[in-house]
Amino acid sequence: MQRRNFIKNTALFAAATTIGVPSIAEPKALKPKIKKSLKIEMVKEGNTIMDKFKLLKELGYDGVEFSSPHKFDHREILDAKQKTGLEIPGVVNSQHWKLPLSHPDPAIRKQCADSVIESLNDCKMYGGTTVLLVAGVVNENISYADAYKRTQEEIKKLLPHAEKTGIKIAIENVWNNFLISPVEAARYVDEINHPLLGWYFDIGNILRYGWPEHWIETLNKRIMKLDVKEYSRKKQNDEGLWKGFDVELMEGDNNWPVIIQSLEKIGYNGWASAEVPGGDRERLKVIIDRMNKIFG
């Protein structure tokens, strides 16, 4: 199944080029617009941050994202960035799952908010533009309505800190039982109505209950960055929910030519960050090669 999907996606790109249908394969497509990144945790080769940055630069990545707060040495990161030219487009808040902004305990919410402030400061120091944030979690103890109200209130409190740094807060769609339709996701940020708040759209996460192209066209200019991964509904049904992620890029259910057309339609310009199982040099080359096939 995965191999058939890979062949299908590759054939669709080739066909689009042959018959002149607007697509990523044509010169006017997204090739000059998309910068390619990944998460530092995916890089399993290299003893130092400098080693890892040099490796990624050699393989053709444009950037790498860090989790924040973290335990790395800031000076080492900045030195590696300066000497290699590899960018740090943003950071991913590292506390939003354990200490969600939707939690009923105000003290827990404050811990999360404090960590987001640290993330904003880290991102500014690195020269990035976004902090990826999971807005909140809904579960048997946290109702949907409470999560909606609490998280909006907490995000509004964080926006003055975003203004001080000039860094955007980008909410990611994840399996948190919250903001699970594109119309609601758009309305959620529109109600707060701030230029430093938007979406970090995860293309693969949405396949469990939707289609990326629908979300892209609804979220439109609210999309600040993209996370890139695959998902197979067949593997989900046959092997279990989380097994759906066990497919390579271009071998799952993402219809990449259609997704690219949707990105072109909204005029998306920016970063696409892989969030898939990483590894050594050979594995990281597979990932960037597939990203290049998708985005040019």
Could you list the pLDDT tens digit for every one of the 296 residues in the chain? 555 555 455 555 544 444 344 444 444 444 438 999 999 999 999 999 999 999 999 999 999 999 999 999 999 999 999 999 999 999 999 999 999 999 999 999 999 999 999 999 999 999 999 999 999 999 999 999 999 999 999 999 999 999 999 999 999 999 999 999 999 999 999 999 999 999 999 999 999 999 999 999 999 999 999 999 999 999 999 999 999 999 999 999 999 999 999 999 999 999 999 999 999 999 999 999 999 999 98
What is the model's pLDDT at position 32? Answer: 37
Which pLDDT belongs to residue 13? 52
- Please choose, from the candidates 59, 133, 22, 79, the residue with its C-alpha nearest in 3D space to the C-alpha of residue 291: 59
What's the pLDDT score for residue 295?
93
pLDDT digits (tens, 9 = 90+) for 89-110: 999 999 999 999 999 999 999 9
- Measuring CA to CA, which residue among 27, 65, 15 is closest to residue 270? 65
Per-residue pLDDT at 69: 96
What are the φ and ψ backbone dihedral angles of 206, each rounded to 5 degrees? -75, -20
> How many C-alpha atoms does 273 have within 13 Å on its Cβ side?
27
Q: Class assignment of domain 33-229+265-282?
A: alpha beta
Domain ranges, ordered by start, for the chain: 33-229+265-282
- The pLDDT of residue 237 is 96
Measured in degrees and rounded to the nearest 5, phi and psi for residue 13 equal -60, -45
**Cα separation of 256 and 24, whole Å?**
9
- The whole-number pLDDT of residue 296 equals 86
